[in-house]
């Protein structure tokens, strides 16, 4: 099962362009590493795409991005847990039903 990235493709493209502009003179492996972070790190995308003029503003942007990412991740895990609980309850019900059916057959 693959979990969809919380980062939109538009934000990924904008981040990768910003990496190319800011680190154009760096070697290819550095640019590739930073460009790859654009696809997975919400805070890095927020930092690269923000127009923050101070460290405090940049920290606020990163914090806001990470908070929204955390919320969607927690919702996904909650729904996964609910599905697991229903699956286990269903399995227990099927086992109990089969046991009751066997008892009825052995009584007759």
Residues 6+ apart with CB under 8 A from 42: 6, 7, 65, 66, 68, 69
Confidence band, pLDDT 50/70/90 cuts, at residue 1 = very low
pLDDT of 13 higher than 70: yes
pTM above 0.85, yes or no: no
What is the CB neighbour count within 10 angstroms for residue 65? 22
Burial class (CB in 10 A: 0-12, 13-18, 19+), 12: middle
Q: Residue 70: what pLDDT?
A: 63
| Average pLDDT of the segment spanning 26-52 | 77
pLDDT of 84 higher than 70: yes
Yes or no: say if 34 and 19 are a contact pair by the CB < 8 Å rule. Answer: yes
């Amino acid at each position: 099962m693959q979990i969809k990235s919380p980062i939109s493709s538009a934000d990924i493209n904008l981040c990768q362009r910003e990496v190319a502009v800011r680190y154009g003179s760096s070697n290819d492996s550095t640019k590739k590493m930073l460009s790859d972070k654009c696809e997975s790190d919400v805070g890095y995308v927020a930092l690269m795409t923000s127009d923050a003029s101070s460290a405090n503003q940049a920290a606020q942007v990163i914090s806001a991005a990470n908070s929204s990412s955390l919320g969607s991740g927690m919702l996904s895990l909650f729904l996964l847990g609910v599905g697991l609980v229903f699956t286990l309850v269903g399995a227990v019900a099927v086992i109990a039903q089969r046991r009751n059916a066997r008892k009825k057959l052995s009584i007759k």
